[in-house]
């Protein structure tokens, strides 16, 4: 066979022909493929369309108020930061077809403790109870209206939310002190704890009222307020709820 | 059917992100870099002959090429078996994300296979295939004629061109072999999220351990096949190959030692959990198999051979043992890189475990099969393209009918 | 005469250019960019968000696949202990007697929808991509299951869906937010520890959150530019 490539060696010619055929085949196949396979933007759009078509299970709080006015009033109570579906589960199906499906309504103790069981990692002041000791066997909703939860009896003031601090203080030398001895608590604190915070003492002299040299003898331990670490506030070393002495 | 992952819950120590309990890259992903490493290493050994004219190693030149081809043909299999959707893998060729190192696989592999390895083998064997075809019967006769692309020119000029072409391809081939295996190292080395992998040294260490394993493999094959053929092992050849093996092991060992020292010295945040992982989960595979048995012991044996004058029989035995230990060590290296990177949590607070199945697509038996099949392919290639049977007919310029 | 027609032509060209530029600016401003804020000191570790996410998005219920999860940190004097919260089991492994704990809190985690996502960078077939709103999605018809993205995510946010065998992760409930709803996890959080909104809008709760708090992101040294912002995040959080 005469060499079509002129003066190239025969072997090289054959190799080049093979590669040429392969290249042409690749180009032909690529051109013949439908754009749906090749085009990235088509894939992106179809993925977005597929995502948007997913069914929605949680309706949000807005649809509920249309029919359920009374529970929606919880907006002013302690549970105002919750969604209806936080407790009642996904309710989109119910919002679309109220008579056919009903959302769940947890009525047993095992549900409320998911949030309200005592756990030390929970932020200070979050209302927590010990489920074993706190009215065992009674459903929570028999005393607490879930849509406007208030304790049925006025709790022992601070201890209801600040149980750990109360427990710590109860075995400490400060056990006989009331919380209000050191902290001024505005009434609003029980409703909006973060907005209307209780005060804390700001100066050493506050502790000095009981622990300074001028205090009556035979009472709390007294120190010389002037020479004892006079630049530092007392609580930098002494945790006020358990003022251990090392 | 309960998920097998429940058993793993008990084997977690410390804290891992909940999604990390499942180890995703299985033993197949360990096998793949091992196979491409052998390919790159065998090819580099062959290149020594062509580019640096190392005469003693000439007798294993063609064997190295065939070994590289046999392993290269199997190399994509562990990857395909690992993918959850292998039938879509053509997407890597069709719509690669050019920012992804893994997308390079298709192109680097195709380039290396077609333009480097097959082309080099073709030019090496072309004259012999034509000559063989003249004296053979069906089917080998037609096989060789087709494989020679029906060329018939065995003039001195054509053979000379073949030789030049081989040399040229080898020169392109060396960086291509580096790329073929180096990009795998880059796939690991470029993951900033993983402190065990993220390192500039990983592609380099991968490459040098590949060279070590490739040279050792060809040495092993030569020492096994030659007696089977009824020939005597050419001692200068194996001595030379082992010399190169020795230098490669020293380089590889230095690089791994450097990585080790560098990590300990810098003592970055991840050092605590990585130390814990190496001492607990990777102690056998890293301390014993990779370092002690896979690197230090063979290095010691090779040093002894260099220092003392052993006789041929003892040298052969030690070469054989060293080569096997090295294979095991390099496989353990790949294991430690891949598994090590997945056994610790990215929270740097805990460790998980790898449960390898025995059967199943990603099981041990599959991995072993993938490691054995290339030898069968090599046997077939040796049958079709005998590396040592240089066609006896003189180079005649008139094509025979 | 020539000058007047030239001036007219110039004015008309300028008007067209200005008009199209204005349209383009308005169009760009119209694209929302979603982000999330997390107030760590409000999280009570109840796990409602984890359950709601699994319900809304069809995530398998086994404890190995999470689009979002909550971690509990207990920082003691000489070590830090971290655990995962699973809402179906008791959250209390007897910590009440543990006097060594200095600080303790919960940290919700999810896909950070990074602006410079390493997962998008490494996908060999481009199956994962970022939408105009800044949300990273996975095309399940393209994903080949190589798991490179799962390895590349510094936050452990991705997993392989056991049934569909493709990579999966939090999408900010893209199908909900495009309709003006909130993501499921934000919807059900009882203490409003999670905040969702438009990063570009001044009227979004997220913008107020970013103004009023010192903001942290996870693993800033990875330069992934996450769009999930944490306030009150302790230095021990990884």
Would B280 be classed as within a structural domain? Answer: yes
Q: What's the domain count of chain B? A: 1
**CB-CB under 8 Å, A119 with C91:** yes
What stretches of chain C adopt beta strand conformation (E)? 34-39, 68-76, 80-85, 101-110, 128-130, 136-138, 159-160, 167-168, 194-198, 215-216, 228-231
Mean pLDDT by 10 residues, chain C (238 residues): 69 58 49 95 94 96 95 90 68 54 93 97 95 96 95 97 96 96 96 95 93 96 97 94
For strand C34-39 and strand C228-231, is the pairing parallel, antiparallel, or unpaired?
Answer: parallel
Q: Which residues pair with C84 in a beta bridge?
A: C71
> Closest Cα to residue B269, out of B346, B182, B364?
B346
Total domains, chain C: 1
Whether A126 and A94 have beta carbons less than 8 Å apart is answered as no
- On chain C, the residues whose CB falls within 8 A of the CB of A64 are none
B138 domain residue, yes or no: yes
Q: Record the tokens describing residue B91, joined without a space.
A: 């997407």
The pLDDT confidence band at residue A119, using thresholds 50, 70 and 90, is confident
In this structure, is residue C204 part of a structural domain? yes
User: Minimal CA–CA distance to B401: which of B134, B203, B105?
Assistant: B134
Contact B193 C118 (CB under 8 A): yes
The pLDDT value recorded for residue B91 is 87
Closest residue in C to A88 (Cα) is C188
Give percent above pLDDT 70 in chain A.
92
Any A CB within 8 A of C83 CB: no
pLDDT tens-digit series, residues A172-225 = 888 888 888 899 988 888 777 778 888 999 988 888 888 888 877 777 888 888
Alpha-carbon distance of C215 to B240, in angstroms, equals 64
By Cβ distance, the residue of B92, B342, B348 closest to C238 is B348
Question: Would you state the pLDDT for residue B392?
Answer: 45
- pLDDT for position B116: 92
Q: Which domain holds residue B230?
A: 10-384
In a domain, B330, yes or no: yes
Q: Which three-class secondary structure state does DSSP give residue B264?
A: helix
CB contact under 8 A, B162 and A11: yes
DSSP B57: G
B150 close to B126: Cβ distance less than 8 angstroms: no
Indicate whether C121 belongs to any domain.
yes
Distance of alpha carbon A166 from the chain centroid: 24
Q: Which residue stretches of B75-200 are H helix?
A: 76-82, 91-94, 104-110, 119-135, 140-147, 156-189
Q: Which residues of A touch C105 (CB under 8 A)?
A: 121, 123
What is the pLDDT at residue B278? 96
3-state secondary structure of B192: coil
Q: Does B158 sit within 8 Å of A11, measured CB to CB?
A: yes
Please, are residues A129 and A94 in contact by the beta-carbon 8 Å criterion? Answer: no
Whether C162 contacts chain B with CB within 8 A: yes
Name every chain B residue with its beta carbon within 8 A of the beta carbon of A30.
Answer: 94
Q: Can you say whether residue B14 is alpha, beta or left, with left for phi > 0 and alpha for psi between -120 and 50 degrees?
A: left
Q: How confident is the model at residue A35 (pLDDT cuts 50, 70, 90)?
A: confident
**Is residue B72 situated within a structural domain?**
yes
pLDDT value, residue B3? 78
**C-beta atoms of C159 and B83 within 8 A:** no
Per residue of chain B (401 residues), what is the pLDDT tens digit? Answer: 577 888 888 889 999 999 999 999 999 999 999 999 999 999 999 998 888 888 888 889 999 999 999 999 999 999 999 999 999 988 888 889 999 999 988 899 989 998 899 999 999 999 898 888 888 888 888 888 888 888 888 888 889 999 999 999 999 999 999 999 999 999 999 999 999 999 999 999 999 999 999 999 999 999 999 999 899 999 999 999 999 999 999 999 999 999 999 999 999 999 999 999 999 999 999 999 999 999 999 999 999 999 998 899 999 999 999 999 999 999 999 999 999 999 999 999 999 999 898 998 999 999 999 999 999 999 999 999 999 876 544 444 334 43
In a domain, B398, yes or no: no
In a domain, residue B15? The reply is yes
* Cross-chain Cβ contact C47/A114 below 8 Å: yes
Residues of A in contact with C187 (CB under 8 A): 58, 60-61, 83, 85-86
For residue A15, give the nearest of B119, B157, B158 by CB distance.
B119
Answer yes or no: is C61 within a domain.
yes
| Closest CA relative to residue B51, chosen from B209, B174, B135 | B174
Nearest Cβ partner of B18 from C84, C148, C154? C84
For residue C119, the enclosing domain spans: 34-231
Residue pairs between chains B and C whose CB atoms are closer than 8 Å: 125
* Residue C165 to residue B345, Cβ atoms within 8 A: no
CATH value at residue C136: 3.30.70.20
- CB of B107 within 8 Å of a chain A CB? The answer is no
In a mutational test of the C interface, the residue from A39, A50, A51 whose CB has the highest number of chain C CBs within 10 Å is: A51
Query: Exposed, middle or buried by CB within 10 Å (0-12, 13-18, 19+), for B137?
Result: exposed
**CA C85 – CA A14 distance, rounded (Å):** 67
The two beta strands, C136-138 and B13-14, are unpaired
Task: Measure A218 CA to nearest chain C CA, in Å.
Answer: 31
Domain membership of residue C60 (yes or no) is yes
Residue A5 CA to residue A16 CA, distance in Å, equals: 10
Considering only CB atoms, B102 lies closest to which of C148, C165, C166, namely C148
Domain assignment of residue C99, yes or no: yes
What sign does the CA torsion over A223, A229, A234, A236 have?
Answer: negative
Contact C238, B269 (CB under 8 A): no
| Tens-place pLDDT, residues A132-165 | 888 888 899 998 888 888 777 766 578 777 877 8
Name the neighbours of B, counting chains with at least 3 Cβ pairs within 8 A.
A, C
User: Does C154 contact B at CB distance below 8 Å?
Assistant: yes
State residue C5's pLDDT score.
72
Which residues of chain A lie closer than 8 angstroms to C57, CB-CB? 54
Which pLDDT score, from 0 to 100, does residue C12 have? Answer: 64
Which of B24, B196, B268, B342 is the best mutation test for C, with the most CBs of C within 10 A?
A: B24
B 291-310 residues inside an 8 A Cβ radius of C: none
**B389, part of any domain:** no
3-state helix, strand, coil in chain B (%, to 5): 75, 0, 25
Cβ of B103 within 8 Å of Cβ of C166? The answer is no
- Domain assignment present for residue C20? The answer is no
Mutation site, C100, C105, C187, interface A, largest A CB count within 10 A: C187
pLDDT, residue B352, reads 93
B4 occurs within a structural domain: no
Cα separation of C95 and C74, whole Å?
9
With a cut of 90, say whether residue A60 has pLDDT above it: no
Residue B151 distance to chain A (closest CA, Å):
7
Asked if the C-beta of B167 comes within 8 angstroms of chain C's C-beta atoms, the answer is no
Contact between A33 and B157 using a beta-carbon 8 Å cutoff: no
C144 touches chain B (CB under 8 A): yes
Q: Nearest chain C residue to A122 by CA: give it.
A: C44
Residue of B nearest to A22 (CA): B114
Measured between CA atoms, how close is C32 to chain B, in angstroms? 26
Q: Which residues of C touch B194 (CB under 8 A)?
A: 151
């Amino acid at each position: 066979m005469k060499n079509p490539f002129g003066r190239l060696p025969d072997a090289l010619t054959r190799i080049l022909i093979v590669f040429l055929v392969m290249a042409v085949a690749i180009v032909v196949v690529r051109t013949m493929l439908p754009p749906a396979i090749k085009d990235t933007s088509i894939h992106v759009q179809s993925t977005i369309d597929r995502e948007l078509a997913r069914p929605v299970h949680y309706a949000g709080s807005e649809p509920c108020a249309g029919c359920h006015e009374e529970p929606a009033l919880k907006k002013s109570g302690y549970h105002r930061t919750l969604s209806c579906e936080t407790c009642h589960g996904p309710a989109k199906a119910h919002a679309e077809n109220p008579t056919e499906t009903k959302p769940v309504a947890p009525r047993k103790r095992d549900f409320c403790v998911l949030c309200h069981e005592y756990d030390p990692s929970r932020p200070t002041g979050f209302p927590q109870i010990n489920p074993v000791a706190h009215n065992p066997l009674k459903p929570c909703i028999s005393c607490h209206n879930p849509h406007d939860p208030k304790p049925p009896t006025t709790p022992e003031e601070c201890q209801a939310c600040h149980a750990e601090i109360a427990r710590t203080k109860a075995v400490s030398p400060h056990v006989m002190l009331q919380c209000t001895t050191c902290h001024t608590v505005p009434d609003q604190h029980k409703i909006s704890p973060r907005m209307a915070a209780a005060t804390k003492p700001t100066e050493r002299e506050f502790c000095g009222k009981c622990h300074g040299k001028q205090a009556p003898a035979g009472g709390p331990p007294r120190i010389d307020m002037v020479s004892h670490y006079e630049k530092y506030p007392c609580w930098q070393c002494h945790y006020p709820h358990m003022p251990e002495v090392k | 059917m309960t998920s097998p992952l429940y058993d793993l819950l008990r084997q977690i120590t410390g804290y891992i992100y909940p999604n990390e309990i499942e180890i995703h890259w299985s033993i197949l992903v360990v096998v793949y870099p091992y196979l491409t490493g052998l390919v790159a290493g065998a090819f580099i050994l062959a290149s020594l002959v062509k580019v640096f004219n190392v005469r003693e190693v000439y007798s294993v030149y063609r064997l190295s090429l065939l070994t590289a081809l046999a392993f290269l043909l199997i190399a994509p299999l562990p990857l395909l078996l690992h993918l959850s959707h292998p039938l879509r893998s053509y997407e890597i060729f069709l719509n690669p994300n050019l920012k992804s190192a893994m997308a390079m696989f298709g192109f680097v592999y195709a380039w290396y296979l077609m333009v480097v390895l097959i082309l080099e083998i073709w030019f090496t064997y072309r004259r012999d295939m034509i000559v063989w075809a003249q004296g053979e019967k069906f089917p080998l006769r037609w096989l060789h004629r087709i494989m020679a692309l029906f060329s018939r020119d065995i003039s001195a000029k054509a053979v000379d061109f073949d030789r030049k072409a081989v040399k040229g391809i080898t020169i392109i081939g060396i960086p291509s072999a580096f790329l073929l295996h180096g990009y795998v190292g880059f796939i690991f080395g470029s993951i900033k999220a993983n402190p065990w992998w993220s390192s500039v040294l990983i592609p380099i260490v991968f490459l040098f351990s590949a060279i070590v394993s490739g040279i050792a493999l060809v040495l092993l094959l030569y020492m096994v096949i030659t007696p089977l053929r009824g020939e005597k092992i050419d001692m200068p050849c194996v001595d030379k190959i082992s010399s190169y093996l020795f230098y490669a092991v020293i380089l590889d060992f230095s690089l791994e030692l450097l990585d080790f020292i560098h990590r300990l010295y810098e003592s970055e945040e991840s050092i605590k959990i990585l130390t814990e992982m190496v001492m607990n989960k990777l102690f056998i595979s890293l301390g014993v198999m990779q370092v002690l048995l896979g690197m230090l012991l063979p290095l010691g044996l090779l040093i002894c051979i260099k220092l003392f004058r052993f006789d041929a029989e003892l040298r052969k035995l030690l070469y054989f043992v060293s080569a096997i230990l090295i294979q095991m060590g390099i496989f353990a290296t790949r294991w430690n890189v891949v598994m090590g990177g997945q056994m610790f949590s990215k929270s740097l607070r805990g460790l998980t475990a790898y449960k390898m199945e025995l059967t199943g697509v990603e099981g041990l038996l599959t991995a072993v099969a993938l490691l054995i099949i290339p030898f069968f392919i090599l046997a077939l290639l040796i049958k079709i393209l005998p590396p040592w049977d240089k066609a006896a007919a003189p180079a005649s310029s008139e094509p025979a009918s | 005469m020539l000058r007047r027609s030239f001036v007219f032509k110039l004015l008309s060209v300028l008007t067209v250019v200005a008009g199209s530029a204005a349209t383009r600016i308005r169009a760009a401003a119209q694209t929302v960019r979603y982000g999330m804020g997390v107030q760590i000191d409000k999280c009570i570790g109840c796990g409602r968000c984890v359950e709601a996410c699994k319900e809304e998005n069809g995530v398998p219920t086994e404890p190995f696949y999470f689009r979002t999860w909550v971690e509990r940190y207990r920082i003691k004097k000489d070590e830090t202990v971290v655990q995962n919260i699973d809402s179906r089991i008791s959250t209390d492994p007897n910590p009440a007697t543990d006097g060594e704990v200095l600080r303790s809190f919960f940290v919700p985690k999810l896909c950070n929808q990074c602006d410079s996502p390493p997962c998008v960078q490494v996908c060999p077939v481009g199956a994962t991509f970022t939408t105009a709103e800044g949300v990273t999605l996975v095309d399940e018809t393209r994903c080949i299951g190589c798991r490179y993205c799962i390895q590349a995510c510094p936050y452990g946010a991705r997993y392989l869906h056991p049934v569909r065998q493709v990579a999966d992760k939090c999408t900010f409930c893209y199908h909900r937010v495009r309709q003006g709803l909130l993501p499921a996890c934000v919807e059900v959080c009882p203490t409003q520890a999670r905040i969702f909104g438009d990063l570009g809008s001044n009227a979004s709760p997220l913008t107020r959150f970013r103004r009023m708090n010192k903001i942290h992101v996870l693993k800033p040294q990875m330069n992934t530019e996450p769009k999930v912002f944490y306030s009150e995040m302790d230095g021990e959080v990884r």
